[in-house]
Amino acid sequence: MKRLLITGAAGGIGSVCRKRLTHMADTLRLSGRGDLGEPAPHEEIMLCDLGDKIAVEELVEGCDGIVHMGGQSTEASWDVIRNANIEGMFNLYEAARKHGKPRILYASSNHAIGFYRQSQNIDATAPVRPDGLYGVSKVFGEALASMYHDKFGIETACVRIGSCFPEPTSHRMLSTWMSFDDFIRLVECVFRVPVLGCPIIYGVSANDATWWDNTSVAYLGWQPHDNSESHRARLDSEMAAPNRNAPDAIYQGGMFTADGIHEE
């Protein structure tokens, strides 16, 4: 690619993409609302509020691909979620429709299906069960991506990210963890495969304890290498497992299922 846009480039995963996707395009266009520092020679920085339609159109113009990590990343008030994750998604896809229909990797979330129990194993065909307003916004994003694919041919990988951190930090993450290495491998596959379509992909490493089945996206050629099981002994020594009646031990979405509605 000549130009790859990374939104949310100041965030945890976005900053990893900034460092490790330099081989994917001649230029990385980096966007966010916070300080992104000084651009490297191969970088462009464009600060942008995703709720600003005109700014998003300028952001997307000239890009051959988009890694969309931007938006509100946790539970929040409806006004905050609506601006970033509802209006922002619509603005992004309208801009993509008008400017060359670039392929998109959309950072969806496991919270789109958070009310499934940890005793259940699910795949991409499972009906959505969001565990909060944040999860609802991710379901909206997946539906929007599907419509723009069917109607306009924009290809999107909707990645339901589990817990993407250097290592799992809780017993629940033994099932949801995705290493940075495995995420970068996934990004590479998404932009390399000749025909992507609009698949739902569970963003999870090759964990023994996972609840999610990615059989339907085997055509991507993505093979996660890491396994959270290597961290189990450490977690057992550092903390007690959650009480069996706690949301973290019952639901795939963990404590998000116990959140109330956030007021302003």
> Catalytic site residue 251?
no
Catalytic residue among 134, 148, 202, 251: 134
**Cα–Cα distance, 93 to 140 (Å, whole number):** 12
CB 226 within 8 A of CB 205: yes
- Give the number of other CB atoms < 10 A from CB of residue 23: 7
CB 187 within 8 A of CB 68: no
Alpha-carbon distance values, 31 to 22, 69, 102, 152 (Å): 15, 10, 16, 25
Kindly give the pairing relationship between strand 103-109 and strand 156-161: parallel
Nearest CA to 54 among 91, 6, 98? 91
**Cα–Cα distance, 160 to 193 (Å, whole number):** 19
Residue 119 CB contacts under 8 Å (≥ 6 apart), including other chains: none
Alpha-carbon distance values, 54 to 45, 61, 65, 151, 263 (Å): 17, 11, 19, 23, 29
**Cα–Cα distance, 4 to 69 (Å, whole number):** 13
Helix, strand, coil percentages, rounded to 5, for the chain: 40, 15, 45
Q: Catalytic amino acids?
A: 134
